[in-house]
Amino acid sequence: MLPESLLLLLTSALALAQSRQELPLNIVSSFATQRLPNPASFSLPAEEQLFISVALCSDSSSARFFISNSSNSDSVDDPGPGGTNAFEIILNHGQGNWTGRFANGGILGLQRDASSDFSFDIALFHQSLDLPFFGDSTSNQALIFSRQFQGIENVKPTYPNYTLPAANLSQPLAPSNPPNLTLIMAETSVGLANGPHTGCSLSSRSTAGTIRNETFWAREVDFWRKEFLVTGLNPSTNYTAFVVEDNTKVSGPIYFATKSSGFTCPLVHSLPYCPGVAYAVPLPPPPAGSVVYDNTNLPDAVSQPLISYMANFTTSLTTFACGRDWYSPLVGCNDCQREYRKWLCAISFTRCSEPSPSNPNGFTATPAEPSATGISATARPGPDGAQRVLSALLPQETRDAPRNPFLPPMGSPYMMLQPCLEMCNAVDRACPPFLGFQCPTNNFNAGASYGVGYIDSADGDKDQGLTGAAQDRWGNVWCHMI
């Protein structure tokens, strides 16, 4: 009989011999079947989302790849045809891919005819995270936000100390332990998105323009993003952008176009009391030394009335017994104030835009009837015959009264992108009826109009509108929403 210590050694040696090779993340691993058992299998690391790509380097019709995602434990059998929890990666011209959740890791198995030998590559990537967010562009600048990377705890007020956020809201303290977020951008014609979407590959690319400022910004109040202000871009050009996180995780691509060289509205951003404002606004050029407007150079004549409206609204709202008398089981005064702030900021800071270069005639040339709710979403065939949705753009002449009387005259014509009606409906839904908020309202924004039927259908069916969203990853922005 063998001594116990030797037995232990033997079993651990056996276990070692049987453990599967773990595939590394974010690099391509190359193999040749001559140096692999048949069938062969590999262990996959535990990840919330994995993108697996396999590519044969030589022809082999007998190769079949299978994956399972229950566990990467050595005691689990190789995945194969018909196995429970096993999926086949179907090869197409020698290439195949699989995206999925591998909470406990997984196993990749390869089956082939014994007579057939070939080499192949396997690459594992973190699957794409949420997309970066396109704020807006001018002819040579852009505001791009990373995906939301960290939640912010906002204490929900309760009775009897029901305290709402100040009208003159400030940004929360800086995020703890943020990831390293890098913006990588290039003209779409360069083909950045055709190369590997990996941190190592993208980080080696030079980026277009100059990153003039990057800052953490709680655009949505309860989430952090990183905001990039890019300058030095070319007019009327389509750009591709990625955000690389900690050199490995990749978010993107998104696409956007810069405006034409005649576009004169400057960008406004970084306003703590209107954290969602990050777009072009019809204002005169920013004061000397600045390329955009932010909290430090925006005229008080614009910010003060807005904060005063916000303060007066908050005062009216708190005459209601917030947190004690419920007007809805789902929403409270804090939701009402938050939605009203978004709406007020979006209405006060009119948004400038222009038709997308791929659809130069894509706007409604005639204003809606005074009695109409606003511009209805419509589609029209583009130059290539394909249907394109027209944005809720309305030309504004120099003589037209500005929608917000506190905005100084811009002195030249521009196109106004109408707010999405859904933003107004969100206030209507979140606020107690005694405030009398109605959509459209003629209190502050007499004669206001909206983009209607883009997100929700014209009849109000949720997400059943023509586009289902205010903007998309391809650079289309149909109506104004913050």
Ligand X SMILES: *[C@@H]1O[C@H](CO)[C@@H](O)[C@H](O)[C@H]1NC(C)=O
Q: Footprint of ligand X on this chain (CB under 6 A)?
A: 53, 69-70, 92, 97, 100-104, 155, 161, 163, 168, 170, 180, 182, 188, 203, 213, 215, 238, 247, 255, 257, 270, 294, 304-305, 307-309, 312, 356-358, 474-475
Provide the minimum distance between the beta carbon of 80 and ligand X in the complex, in angstroms, as a whole number: 17
Beta carbon nearer to ligand X, 117 or 121: 121
Which is closer to ligand X, CB of 350 or CB of 373?
A: 350
In the numeric block, the tokens 């909290």 are attached to 295
Query: What is the rounded distance in angstroms from the CA atom of residue 422 to the CA atom of residue 428?
Result: 10
Identity of the residue, 142 or 421, whose beta carbon is nearer to ligand X in the bound complex: 142
What residues have CB less than 8 Å from 468, skipping those under 6 apart? 455
CB 478 to ligand X: min, Å: 12
Rounded CA gap, 244 and 246, in Å?
A: 7
Q: Where are the alpha helices (DSSP H) in 270-420?
A: 300-317, 333-348
Q: Which is nearer to ligand X, 3 or 385 (CB)?
A: 385
* Cβ distance to ligand X smaller for residue 19 or 308: 308
* 56 closest CA partner among 86, 90, 26, 87: 90
- Selection from 314, 312, 313, 281 nearest residue 298 by Cα: 281
CB of 13 to ligand X, least distance (A): 30
Contact 292, 266 (CB under 8 A): yes
| Amino acid, single-letter form, for residue 166 | A
Angle at 364 between CA 362 and CA 367, to 5 degrees: 165
Minimum distance of ligand X from residue 69's CB (angstroms): 4
Least distance in angstroms from the C-beta of 31 to ligand X? 19
Tokens matching residue 19: 């453990």
Q: What is the CA radius of gyration of the chain?
A: 28
Give least dist CB 312 to ligand X, A: 4
Residue number, 30 or 304, with CB nearest to ligand X: 304
Q: Could you give the CA distance from residue 402 to residue 3 in angstroms, rounded to a whole number?
A: 92
